[in-house]
């Protein structure tokens, strides 16, 4: 849902007032692939990224800090309820959790890497949320909590057959679909007879 500029400008002013006055916003929010739900949000900051406007704040429903897409907010109103900005909250630190893009919910991504690159992967910390688990066969499982999967997907795919995504299921399906499309591109007349299965290009 994209709003007209005057409406978006008025909405931005309302959100900025809420941030300055430390007042809770009451609204309906339509998260991706979900029905609109009532939310009470303590807005900490407003942020523009890639032409999209976002509100970072405490969600009373999720009981955690979340990122909200302004275009998905409906029936927004300023309440008289006040809040205190957490002393330890840092917008810069929070933004580090996004792998190049925003989403309203953090996504848990688990990947298993071949033992041949375990040492290389453990030489550095790839993301602030990273958790390492070295398995008995020498392979390595890395778990991340990221805001959006586009960037991390590109990173994982770069390891080719040395990486296998375990979670979430939606990302596993996305990778399978991408591989199927790639395989199909080899089924053109010029490649006929060369590649028949995924095993043939591994």
Q: Do 48 and 122 sit in the same domain of this protein?
A: no
pLDDT band, very low/low/confident/very high, at 17 (cuts 50, 70, 90):
very high
pLDDT at 191 over 70: no
> Residue 24's domain spans which residues?
5-88
Listed range (77-91, 94-108, 124-138) with the worst mean pLDDT: 94-108
Q: For residues 169 and 177, is the Cβ–Cβ distance under 8 A?
A: no
Average pLDDT over residues 89-106: 66
Q: For residues 129 and 98, is the Cβ–Cβ distance under 8 A?
A: no
Would 93 be classed as within a structural domain?
no
End-to-end CA distance of the chain: 42
pLDDT at 120 over 70: yes
Structural domain count of the chain = 2
Would 182 be classed as within a structural domain?
yes
Would 96 be classed as within a structural domain?
no
pLDDT band, very low/low/confident/very high, at 114 (cuts 50, 70, 90):
very high
Q: For residues 141 and 130, is the Cβ–Cβ distance under 8 A?
A: no
Q: How far apart are CA 30 and CA 72, in angstroms?
A: 5
Note if the pTM is more than 0.85.
Answer: no
Helices within 104-144 (DSSP H only): 118-122
Q: For residues 185 and 201, is the Cβ–Cβ distance under 8 A?
A: no
pLDDT at 137 over 90: yes
Q: Do 62 and 135 sit in the same domain of this protein?
A: no
Q: Do 113 and 74 sit in the same domain of this protein?
A: no
Residue 97 or residue 180, greater confidence: 180
Q: Do 132 and 55 sit in the same domain of this protein?
A: no
Average pLDDT over residues 110-131: 91
Q: Do 72 and 16 sit in the same domain of this protein?
A: yes
Q: Do 114 and 191 sit in the same domain of this protein?
A: yes
Q: How far apart are CA 57 and CA 167, in angstroms?
A: 27
């Amino acid at each position: 849902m994209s709003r007209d500029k005057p409406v978006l400008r008025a909405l931005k002013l309302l959100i900025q007032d809420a941030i300055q006055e430390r007042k809770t916003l009451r609204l309906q929010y339509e998260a991706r692939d979900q029905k609109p739900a009532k939310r009470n949000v303590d807005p900490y900051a407003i942020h523009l990224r890639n032409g999209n406007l976002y509100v970072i704040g405490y969600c009373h429903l999720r009981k955690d800090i979340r990122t909200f897409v302004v275009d998905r907010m409906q029936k927004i109103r300023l309440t008289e309820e006040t809040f205190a900005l957490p002393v330890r909250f840092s917008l810069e630190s929070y933004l580090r959790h996004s792998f190049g893009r925003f989403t309203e919910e953090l996504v848990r991504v688990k990947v298993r890497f071949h033992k041949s690159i375990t040492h290389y992967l453990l030489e550095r910390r790839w993301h602030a949320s990273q958790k390492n688990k070295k398995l008995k066969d020498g392979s390595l499982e890395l778990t991340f909590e990221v805001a959006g999967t586009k960037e991390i997907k590109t990173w994982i795919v770069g390891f080719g057959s040395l990486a296998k995504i375990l979670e979430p299921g939606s990302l596993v399906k996305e990778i399978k679909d991408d591989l199927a499309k790639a395989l199909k591109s080899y089924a053109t007349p010029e490649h006929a007879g060369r590649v028949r299965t995924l095993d043939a290009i591994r």
